[in-house]
Structure 1
Amino acid sequence: MSNIRKFTRFSFGDLVATAGPTVIIIAVLCAAAYLAVDPAPPRQVLLATGQENSAYEEFGKQYAAALAKHDIKVTRQSSLGSQENLQLLNEGKVDIAFVQSGSTEEAEARRAGLVSLGSLFTEPVWLFMREPVAVTQLSDLKGKKINLGPEGTGVPKLLRKVLELNGVEPSDLTIGALENTPATVELLEGRIDALVFSSGPEAPLVQMLLQTPGIKLFDFSQAEAYARRLPFVSHVVLPRGIVDVGRDIPSQDYHLIAPTATLVARDDLHPALVDLFVQSASQIHGGTGWFQTQGQFPSARFTEIPVAREAQKFYKDGAPLLQRYMSFWMANLLDRMWVVVVALAALWIPLSKVVPPLYVWRIKSRVYRWYGQLRTVEQELDAATGKDRAQVCAAMLKRLDEIEAMVNRISIPLAFADALYGLRSHINFVRQRVRAAARDETAAAPAPAAVV
């Protein structure tokens, strides 16, 4: 039975020995392609938000909660606002941030390697004043104490452009640079006349100041004109009674100018994270609001920064197909597998043509190498002359017996048995040749002299 097992239809061991290095090479190259071409998304991302009690801060919490459901940690970094967020992005200190429209230009954003994930919501410019202050036009602010906020926010730059349209120079005002919360305290205490900041209506400070007695919101009655002169702002209306219908707060419609908040990322942010942030934005900002209708945001419009390819695809086709039916990580894994499939196909097609010939060569080499031994026997036989020829023939016959015994122990698949039997017949052929040479030598030897 042990001898029968030597002859099988297929040699698994030889296949492993032949194809093993090829399989290992393919596996290593596919793994390298999987990791280098499309690595797994990171489990942590840095998000720059805004000041305390701002809409940016509130929305940052919501994004952190949304991505936490997919086991991705969003580390929120507070800032002064839009301008500081842009600086953090340019310096590579954060991965993604809230940025106000008008804070940069398209060419500058391209040079810095920034992409937009879309506009999220309008954030009106809120100009709150103490009730005794009589301001009906922005030119009436001359000589007043007004807080524009730190330079790290987008408001000082924006309001300077608005004041310039009204013929008001910064030197005509006493300008403060406090953050929103301490500036609100100064306004309530009467130490400043007005407070300006830009934020979504969800911000706690906006909600509080709209309902605070003695504090009045400025009505930008020329808001449409500002929107035509400044392309990065739009004209929005705060409807009467939107804060509290029962108490009729506010008691009139207010016209406001509003830049748009956008989500901006570095262009090296992993595409899967871009998809996840845009999907979260759709859930967080997709509903109705004080200044928006259902489905108006998020949007690829209202941003001067180039929109990321993945975000554009989402706004056109919706969420990726796999992510609609399975978890983020499973969908991402399957989506990335095409890289391995392409690499595997590119490698397997040429290498598959090499493995079969190598397998055949490995099997037949067990037979063919013995032909060298037979050739050596024939060469020694041809070289033997004289009286040593008979001894050489005897040695050659013994050597051929040893070769045949070792050949009989060769394990070879049945498909190659013809080569084995051919070798054995050739051994016998050489043996017959050696025996013939030995007979010829014996016949040619002189007879011994007779003894008288």
Structure 2
Amino acid sequence: MRELLATGGPFVLLGAAALALAYWLVQPNPPKRVVLATGAEQGAYAEFGKRYQEQLARHGIEVVLRGTQGSADNLKLLEDPDGEVEFAFVQGGADRQRQPDEPPPEGLVALGSLFYEPVWFFYREDSARRLLGRARLQRLAQLAGWKLNIGAPGSGVTNLMLRLIDLNGLEREQLTLTRLGQTPAVVEFLEGRLDAVAFTSAPEAPMVQMLLQTPGVGLLDFAQSEAYARRLPVLAPVVLPRGVIDLARDLPPRDVHLVAPTAMLVARESAHPALQQLFVQAARTIHGEAGWFQRRGDFPSPRNVEFPLAKEAERFYASGPSWLQRYLPFWLTNLVDRMWVVIASIIVVLIPASRIVPPLYEMRVRSKVFRWYGRLRQIEAALEREPSAAQARTLRQSLEELDTRVGRINVPLSHADELYALRSHIHLVRKKLLSLEGA
């Protein structure tokens, strides 16, 4: 065993060192903490952020939620090289600085589109009566003289609403535009100091749910939704079905046409691949069910994204989760997934090197026997010089010591013949020595 350890040990240590170096370079396990930029409190992004937090906590990942004013702020945080934010929700068309034909910022990747974010344009019916002479607002072009909140600076709705106002031929001076956050804007709206408020949000947002069921609050029907989608490619026409809010109360009482950009999950390209994989899997769980505007399985999707699709997302949409995850915990599956190529490379390199181990082991075992032949040859050569009686006794003592040491040698059974050959040779020299003493 000692010889086996002495010969195979360095080889094992070399393999372990190569594996440790590969682990250090690849860093297969993700960090335990990640920052996700969401949005305003009581908005859809904030609500979905909590669900992602719960999903990743099951794998030991702490998701820190960073509240912002919306998509524009989230993009700035992602592009900040010194910032902590690595993942964020971003609304389609939220980048006001980029023209439609410009490439997206470098270093950012999309993990997929998540859900439609309809433009919820709520108005007070009493304001419509006062300004239009009827209870219903029919088109954005009728907004001249209205007090309208278009979202806080940094939110995605601001840029979108300004573009919609321009498309309808309205001069911005014809409206009183405010830039309040979502909660204070709703307070002002309900108290009558604003005529209308605009959100872009998933229907899960508490503010949207509340306003949809508030008496005296109307929701603009974008009857020209198809035309808006043609003029602004970031928009898609969607329909809020009759009765989807409350079947018993028949809310809404008719189909409502809306326009909707698509919310995306965007990450830094440098974010750990395992974290990207976890976020995509969480997106499938959170957004994969049927909703007001999508059927089961429509989201998350690799379509309608404005950034290059991350490689982890491409692999997930093509083949789904790894089959190992059905039987192994995520950390082990991830370790195998990230390291198998490296381990295979190390094995390919070490297999040729391992061929030297058996000859080296055999050489070390045989050397335990053959190194004593040198001492035996010395004794035999001294006998051939016809020693005196005193020298013969000294040689005999040396021979007996040699025989005693050889008797203590342990070798595998496969090499026992060499050991017994040495002992028989010692016996031959002993016979020669005894015959010399007799003479």
TM-score scaled to structure 2, two decimals?
0.83
Q: 1:80·1:150 contact (CA, 8 Å) conserved in 2?
A: yes
Return the offset for 1:234. Answer: 0.5
2-structure distance, mates of 1:339, 1:232: 40
1:100 is matched with which residue: 91, 96, 102?
Answer: 91
Question: 5+ residue gaps in structure 2?
Answer: none
User: What CA deviation, in whole Å up to 9, does each residue of 1:362-386 have, x standing for no partner?
Assistant: 112223333444566689899x99x
Residue aligning to 2:3: 14
User: What CA deviation, in whole Å up to 9, does each residue of 1:150-171 have, x standing for no partner?
Assistant: 2211111222222232333445
User: What CA deviation, in whole Å up to 9, does each residue of 1:167-223 have, x standing for no partner?
Assistant: 334454332221111011111222223211210111111122222233222232222
Return the offset for 1:306. Answer: 1.8
1-structure distance, mates of 2:297, 2:412: 70
2-structure distance, mates of 1:288, 1:364: 75
* Change over 3 Å in CA distance of 1:351–1:177 after alignment to 2: same
Return the offset for 1:327. Answer: 4.1
Q: 2:28·2:335 contact (CA, 8 Å) conserved in 1?
A: no
Q: Which letter does structure 2 place at the counterpart of 1:359? A: Y
User: What CA deviation, in whole Å up to 9, does each residue of 1:60-84 have, x standing for no partner?
Assistant: 2222223333443322221111111
**1:273 partner SS:** helix
Return the offset for 1:144. Answer: 3.3
Give the number of aligned pairs. 425
User: What CA deviation, in whole Å up to 9, does each residue of 1:9-59 have, x standing for no partner?
Assistant: xxx232122212222322332244345425223333322211111111111
Return the offset for 1:350. Answer: 2.3
Residue aligning to 1:412: 411
Residue aligning to 2:360: 358
Alignment of 1:22-61 (within 5 A): 22-61=11-50
Residue aligning to 2:71: 82
Q: Which letter does structure 2 place at the counterpart of 1:111? A: E
Q: Which letter does structure 1 place at the counterpart of 2:239? A: V
* Change over 3 Å in CA distance of 1:169–1:428 after alignment to 2: farther
1-structure distance, mates of 2:86, 2:277: 14
Alignment of 1:219-368 (within 5 A): 219-333=221-335, 335=337, 338-339=340-341, 341-343=343-345, 345-368=347-370
Return the offset for 1:398. Answer: 5.4
* Change over 3 Å in CA distance of 1:245–1:431 after alignment to 2: closer
TM-score scaled to structure 1, two decimals?
0.81
**2:301 partner SS:** coil
Larger radius of gyration: 1
Alignment of 1:170-189 (within 5 A): 170-189=172-191
1-structure distance, mates of 2:291, 2:266: 22
Return the offset for 1:333. Answer: 4.8
Residue aligning to 1:5: none
Aligned-residue RMSD, C-alpha: 3.4
Deviates more, 1:183-192 or 1:420-429: 420-429
* Change over 3 Å in CA distance of 1:373–1:291 after alignment to 2: same
1-structure distance, mates of 2:40, 2:229: 26
Residue aligning to 1:7: none
